[in-house]
Amino acid sequence: MTDKYDVIVIGAGPAGYVAAIRCAQLGLKTACIEKWHDDKKNAVYGGTCLNVGCIPSKALLDSSHKYVEAQKDFKTHGISATGISMDVPAMIARKAKIVSQLTSGVKQLFMANKVEGIAGSGKLLAGKKVQVTKHDGSTVELSAENVILCAGSAPINIPPAPIDNDVIVDSTGALEFSSVPKRLGVIGAGVIGLELGSVWSRLGAEVTVLEAMDAFLPAVDGQLSKEALKILSKQGLDIKLGAKVTGSKVGKGKAKTVTVSYTNKDGDQEAVFDKLIVAVGRRPVSENLLGENTGVELDKRGFVVVDDSCATSVPGVYACGDLVRGPMLAHKGMEEGVMVAERIVGKKTQVNYDLVPFVIYTHPEIAWVGKTEEQLKAEGREYNVGTFPFSINGRAMAANESEGLVKIIADAKTDRVLGCHIIGPSAADMMQQMVIAMEFSASAEDIGLTMFSHPTLSEAVHEAALAVAGHAIHGVNKRKR
């Protein structure tokens, strides 16, 4: 006799816990299995995002940014602050407290919504049965009308720089340094490399980022990635492009260092670091997730194969979040979780994959939605561009935050906004208004005709929209009317 549920979710990261809560809200008997646990073997919910991803990294980004403000920016405002220092263990403890508040918050949401949380490792068996291996080694078998696989992702390891969790760490280890490394190496100038590289650079580490590709942030609109490279380099990140890591050697003794060898256009190189972060991407956690003959298909890279509605080829089995195609972002997984729950009860909910917002939480932030100029050129599509720099936005000047720009791209014939790209203060929150506008198929003219509060950073969005037609008021128009 097996316990029978309407829905079993495997994994309680943002995709899984959101799917479970929405299923329960819709009246479905729902269980969510999670293998992450505390010292007492109780399940810890929230996955990568709450435990070792989005939230802890932002906590450290905010702490380190305040340190820089106190050290460098206060004096611009006439504030003198001397003897500023950073207590790294206190910063890490603050981060841990936020993580714990949020993960226990998910536990409370499960209770409030009557989701049954189950501690252990889940495996899908044939016939929509699920085996749970508890932390004491015992197993139970459950079954469900519907199973949602949300096992998430883990850092990719590379043979030239094996993680030892001491000198060579992945993103999780980089959130836990007990002091500021003097020389920090980062492999990969992607999102994690730039965010965590920034944290430790702001606190005083000499940071070198080794990036295999010749292009910097190739997914970002070219005008913004150029601007980002300039600003981040000025902040002290030594970003070496076209640097292919070939090996690493950890020294012996108490104060260990690591010597990293790499090749670039000038030949073989070596660099010595006190800590090395490997941030070269993430892979789906699909090993040990599927039993024999489940019928669920994996692609060559281990992603569960799903259609646009996150259904696998087995009726009643779905998969969401980092475990499936598409960008590895918490909000993308959450929307997929809601979509699957609603489709299980017969709604026709869809995710608009064309409007996934992206943010890199450096300072200034880099945020974008929709198409880049490079993509539109490749598609042969005609478009108009409006830009507006923060250097002439009153609110940005008042805040001494005047680096960066807003760029809006609209279709040349219909004026429909096709992309919005912002590098600047609070870019993530500002860009979100354009995601909403684009969901409603706004034209640049619609944005231009909308009244914006003054003085706000968002006025730069307004002016960029006006600039698409060549009539920004507070800036010189490149495009003539």
- Binding residues vs ligand FAD (CB under 6 A): 10-16, 33-36, 47-49, 53-54, 57, 121-122, 150-153, 171, 192, 285, 289, 321-323, 328-331, 333, 361
Q: To the nearest whole angstrom, how small is the minimum distance from the Cβ of residue 149 to ligand NAD?
A: 19
Q: To the nearest whole angstrom, how small is the minimum distance from the Cβ of residue 334 to ligand FAD?
A: 8
Residue in the block written with tokens 């979710």: 9
The verdict on 88 binding ligand NAD (CB under 6 A) reads no
Widest distance between CA atoms in the chain: 75
Contact 112, 24 (CB under 8 A): no
Does 454 qualify as catalytic in the annotation?
A: yes
The verdict on 212 binding ligand NAD (CB under 6 A) reads yes
Q: To the nearest whole angstrom, how small is the minimum distance from the Cβ of residue 60 to ligand FAD?
A: 10
The verdict on 469 binding ligand NAD (CB under 6 A) reads no
Q: To the nearest whole angstrom, how small is the minimum distance from the Cβ of residue 159 to ligand NAD?
A: 9
Q: At what angle do helices 14-25 and 330-344 cross, to 10 degrees?
A: 30
Here the tokens at position 435 are: 């995601």
27-30 contacts: CB < 8 A, separation 24 or more? Answer: 27/345, 28/146, 28/341, 28/344, 28/345, 29/5, 30/5, 30/6, 30/114, 30/115, 30/116
Among ligand FAD, ligand NAD, none, residue 188 binds (CB under 5-8 Å by kind): ligand NAD
Q: To the nearest whole angstrom, how small is the minimum distance from the Cβ of residue 83 to ligand NAD?
A: 33
- Selecting among 37, 421, 454, 474, the annotated active-site residue is 454
Residue in the block written with tokens 């609110």: 395
Contact 58, 73 (CB under 8 A): no
CB atoms within 10 A of CB 429: 14
Nearer Cβ to ligand NAD, position 39 or 268? 268
The gap from C-alpha 481 to its chain's centroid, in whole angstroms, comes to: 39
Tell me how far CA of residue 183 lies from CA of 60, 163, 167, 205, 246, in angstroms: 18, 17, 11, 6, 19
Among ligand NAD, ligand FAD, none, residue 294 binds (CB under 5-8 Å by kind): none
Find out whether the peptide bond into 364 is cis, omega within 30 degrees of 0.
yes
Among ligand FAD, ligand NAD, none, residue 18 binds (CB under 5-8 Å by kind): none
The verdict on 280 binding ligand NAD (CB under 6 A) reads yes
Interface region with ligand NAD, contact rule CB under 6 A, candidates 24-32, 100-108, 176-184, 323-331: 323-331
User: Binding pattern to ligand NAD, positions 412-451, x when CB under 6 A?
Assistant: ----------------------------------------
Backbone angles phi, psi at 236, to 5 degrees: 120, -5
Selected binder of ligand NAD within 9, 43, 175, 192 (CB under 6 A):
192
Q: To the nearest whole angstrom, how small is the minimum distance from the Cβ of residue 58 to ligand NAD?
A: 8
The verdict on 210 binding ligand NAD (CB under 6 A) reads yes
Nearer Cβ to ligand FAD, position 21 or 409? 21
Dihedral-angle region of residue 370 (phi above 0 means left; psi in -120 to 50 means alpha; beta otherwise): left
Beta strands of 391-441 (E only): which ranges? Answer: 405-411, 417-424
Q: Give the N- to C-terminal CA distance of the chain in Å, as an integer.
A: 74
Nearer Cβ to ligand FAD, position 7 or 323? 323
Interface region with ligand NAD, contact rule CB under 6 A, candidates 68-76, 188-196, 348-356, 409-417: 188-196
The verdict on 242 binding ligand NAD (CB under 6 A) reads no
The verdict on 245 binding ligand NAD (CB under 6 A) reads yes
The verdict on 328 binding ligand NAD (CB under 6 A) reads yes
Among ligand NAD, ligand FAD, none, residue 360 binds (CB under 5-8 Å by kind): ligand NAD
The verdict on 186 binding ligand NAD (CB under 6 A) reads no
Per-residue b or e along 357-369, where b marks 16 or more CB atoms closer than 10 Å to that residue's CB: bbbbbbbbbbbbb
Q: What share of the chain is helix, strand, coil (3-state, %, to 5)?
A: 35, 25, 40
Residues that bind ligand NAD (CB under 6 A): 158, 187-193, 195, 210-213, 245, 279-282, 327-329, 359-361
Give the catalytic positions in this structure: 454
